[in-house]
């Protein structure tokens, strides 16, 4: 049956290629696209001159620059793209305007890491051209050169230096960084280790050997190398103009350092100007590539199939479903482990971003749990849920080729309602820390995602002493925060029953436990648990560094009904806050802008005593150093 389906699909793909060519020819002769907007977010940056403009760093640019979250050197960054592990490096491509701190003139920026925290900037990978801007997309490893995009290997396993491969030729042509940049990034080369020069990412490895990832003298842990392969890294992305959005393919001769557009682009053109953000996976059971892509204003996720990444056939559509908002954007499809059940059990999860129209306002990501047979996604039930109870996590993309087939994602830590008006001026845009995702059943038996920081423990420095086992009603304890450092706070707390002689009022009928970050100027950021309603809140409204009509101050999330116990994992890093409650079953992500640095951590209770089962406060080692950009 599988063989027959493959033959039928192959016939349709061939026909689709012919029809696609005719569609492109018709478009060239003046065919018109549907009259619908191509974006739900304006791009004032497109009005600027397409040439670098002087950027003057402000105090806010330094104050709000994170230490462990990726942010662009300058300019504007939004959606993560092309997230993939190539066997040596984790790649982070991203939507990027290098000309100013506004959306527009969209290129693909590029950085790589060996640990998903310590990032090395690389040159722009895909540029805006006369064909349009380089909108969101993905990357895959075409190991067997099924696409036919890669030149034939001259030997099955060439020895280093014995044969000059296409990748090596490309690497020699790649311009080196200026001498002062080389000197600034120079560290102990032996910490980097010896790399396999026979890998397809020869060019990238050469560049990174010259400019290693580590910014300090600590060794950089190396992942095991992939064996030599016939193919390599391929990007699939959207070329966008106001009139049309089409899907392009680009292949890399040097492991992702440079991306060359396929001469036959576009590979998918349906005549829409609101058709974007492809995410491609390899579906092993049906032995084909599957693309999920949105017809955004129609609130549909379309599924396409291909055997070679160049010819695509429409398989099915999903939606409208869940929360529609104005536009669907940035779909992602991943097979996710079900935790605590039959070993190896998995379900498919379809993530769909919405903008604007999220319940919290503006941009948000929803997800559906279900089955995928290689052609059609079928949700298990009518439940739709959000990835975040805050409003600053959007456009998530999962990493391809993760070790152990883990599901790990990165999202844009921002919101289109205010991302172009933030107080930092020379750069804008931040990525979340990487998050591992599993599926876990909630108290009602529904499968929901649980998400937690991925290997953040490696950044921990010695804990700050903060011994505490109990807080009496109406009491608090506090500790000083390290200046200018990211911190991680771990808590496991139970509220005791409220004594009958304690009042009700605004202190919570069953008591509240509150985490407060504050400063001497009277600003405060609070994360609290209400024992009566069993809900968690996040309140950034008493910070005074940024004001905007859409910069909502408070958010909340329902936790386990009837439970007076809560666990919290809080990561605070400059202008970013990420809260993981109850082992990642509820997650809140928020930008924060105190006018002055937060310098004190307080743990407080109101009308009930609290038992502190665990408390630990860790400074986190800086991994992204942007001070030299000033």
List, as one string, the DSSP characters of 66-115. Answer: -SSS---SSEEEEEEEEEEE-SS-EEEEEEEETTSSSS-S-EEEEEEESS
Give the tokens for residue 78. 């939004």
Sign of dihedral through CA atoms 450, 512, 620, 121? positive
Spatial contact of 604 and 535, defined as CB atoms under 8 Å apart: no
pLDDT at site 420: 96
- Residue 501 has a CB neighbour count (10 Å cut-off) of 6
Spatial contact of 572 and 468, defined as CB atoms under 8 Å apart: no
pLDDT at site 53: 56
339 CA to centre of own chain: 22
pLDDT at site 622: 97
Residues (pLDDT < 50) of the chain are 1-33, 48-51, 157-200, 212-225, 629-630
Spatial contact of 354 and 393, defined as CB atoms under 8 Å apart: no
pLDDT at site 534: 94
Choose the catalytic residue: 61, 79, 388, 414.
79
Whole-angstrom distance, CA of residue 529 vs CA of residue 283: 43
27 CA to centre of own chain: 34
Cβ burial 32-41 (10 Å sphere, 16+ → b, else e): ebeeeebbbb
Spatial contact of 254 and 234, defined as CB atoms under 8 Å apart: no
Whole-angstrom distance, CA of residue 52 vs CA of residue 26: 37
Give the tokens for residue 107. 């290129």
Q: At what angle do helices 166-173 and 202-210 cross, to 10 degrees?
A: 40
Is there a catalytic annotation at residue 79? yes
pLDDT at site 128: 97
Whole-angstrom distance, CA of residue 579 vs CA of residue 572: 9
pLDDT at site 174: 35
- Residue 51 has a CB neighbour count (10 Å cut-off) of 7
> Which helix (H) or strand (E) segment is 28 a member of?
helix 2-28
Task: Map tokens 């005719």 to a residue.
Answer: 22
pLDDT at site 627: 67
Spatial contact of 325 and 306, defined as CB atoms under 8 Å apart: no
Which whole-number Å values give the CA distances from 456 to 280, 566, 614, in the listed order? 28, 21, 18
Spatial contact of 63 and 592, defined as CB atoms under 8 Å apart: no
Burial class (CB in 10 A: 0-12, 13-18, 19+), 503: exposed
Residue 229, SS3 per DSSP:
coil
Peptide bond into 622 cis (omega under 30): no
Whole-angstrom distance, CA of residue 363 vs CA of residue 504: 37
319 CA to centre of own chain: 23
């Amino acid at each position: 049956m599988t063989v027959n389906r493959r033959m039928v699909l192959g016939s349709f793909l061939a026909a689709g290629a012919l029809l696609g060519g005719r569609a492109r020819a018709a478009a060239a002769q003046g065919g018109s696209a549907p009259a619908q907007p191509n974006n739900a977010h304006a791009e004032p940056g497109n009005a600027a001159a397409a040439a670098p403009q002087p950027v003057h760093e402000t105090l806010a640019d330094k104050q709000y620059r994170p230490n462990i979250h990726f942010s662009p050197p300058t300019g504007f960054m939004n959606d993560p793209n092309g997230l993939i592990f190539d066997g040596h490096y984790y790649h982070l491509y991203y939507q990027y305007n290098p000309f100013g701190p506004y959306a527009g003139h969209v290129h693909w920026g590029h950085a790589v890491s060996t640990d998903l925290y310590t990032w090395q900037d690389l040159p722009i990978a895909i540029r805006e051209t006369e064909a349009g801007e380089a909108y969101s997309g993905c990357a895959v490893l075409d190991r067997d050169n099924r696409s036919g995009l890669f030149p034939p290997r001259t030997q099955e396993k060439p020895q280093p230096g014995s044969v000059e491969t296409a990748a090596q030729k490309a690497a020699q042509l790649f311009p080196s960084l200026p001498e002062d940049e080389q000197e600034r990034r120079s560290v102990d080369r032996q910490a980097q280790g010896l790399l396999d020069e026979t890998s397809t990412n020869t060019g990238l490895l050469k560049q990174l050997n010259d400019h290693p990832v580590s910014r300090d003298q600590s060794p950089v842990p190396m992942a095991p190398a992939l064996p030599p392969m016939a193919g390599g890294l391929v990007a699939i992305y959207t070329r966008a103009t106001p009139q049309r959005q089409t899907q392009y393919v680009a292949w890399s001769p040097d492991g992702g350092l440079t991306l060359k557009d396929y001469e036959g682009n576009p590979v998918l053109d349906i005549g829409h100007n609101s058709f974007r953000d492809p995410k491609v996976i390899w579906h092993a059971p049906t032995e084909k590539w599957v693309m999920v892509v949105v017809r955004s204003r129609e609130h549909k996720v379309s599924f396409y199939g291909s055997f070679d990444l160049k010819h695509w056939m429409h398989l099915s559509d999903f939606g409208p479903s869940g929360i529609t908002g104005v536009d669907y954007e940035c779909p992602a499809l991943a097979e996710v482990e079900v935790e605590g059940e039959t070993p190896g059990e998995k379900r498919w999860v379809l993530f769909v971003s919405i903008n604007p129209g999220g319940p919290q306002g503006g941009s948000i990501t929803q997800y559906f749990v279900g089955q995928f047979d290689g052609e059609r996604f079928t949700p298990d039930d009518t439940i739709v849920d959000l990835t975040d109870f805050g409003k600053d996590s959007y456009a998530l993309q999962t990493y391809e080729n993760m070790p152990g087939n883990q599901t790990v994602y990165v999202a844009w830590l921002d919101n289109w309602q205010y991302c172009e008006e933030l107080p930092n001026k020379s750069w804008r845009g931040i990525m979340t820390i990487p998050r591992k995702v599993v599926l876990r059943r909630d108290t009602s038996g529904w499968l929901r995602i649980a998400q937690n920081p991925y290997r953040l423990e490696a950044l921990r420095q010695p804990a700050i002493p903060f011994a505490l086992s109990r807080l009496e009603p109406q009491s608090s304890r506090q500790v000083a925060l390290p200046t200018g450092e990211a911190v991680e706070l771990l808590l496991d707390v139970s509220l005791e029953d409220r004594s009958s002689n304690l009042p009700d009022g605004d202190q919570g009928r069953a008591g509240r436990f509150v985490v407060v970050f504050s400063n001497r100027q009277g600003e405060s950021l609070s994360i609290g648990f209400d024992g009566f309603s069993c809900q968690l809140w996040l309140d950034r409204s008493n910070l005074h560094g940024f004001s905007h009509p859409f910069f909502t101050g408070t958010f909340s999330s329902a936790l386990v009904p009837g439970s007076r116990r809560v666990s919290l994992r809080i990561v605070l890093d400059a202008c970013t806050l990420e809260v993981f409650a109850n082992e990642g079953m509820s997650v809140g992500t928020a930008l924060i802008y105190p006018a002055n640095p937060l310098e004190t951590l307080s743990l407080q209770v109101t009308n009930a005593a609290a038992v502190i089962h665990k408390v630990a406060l860790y400074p986190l080692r800086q991994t992204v150093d942007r001070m030299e950009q000033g």
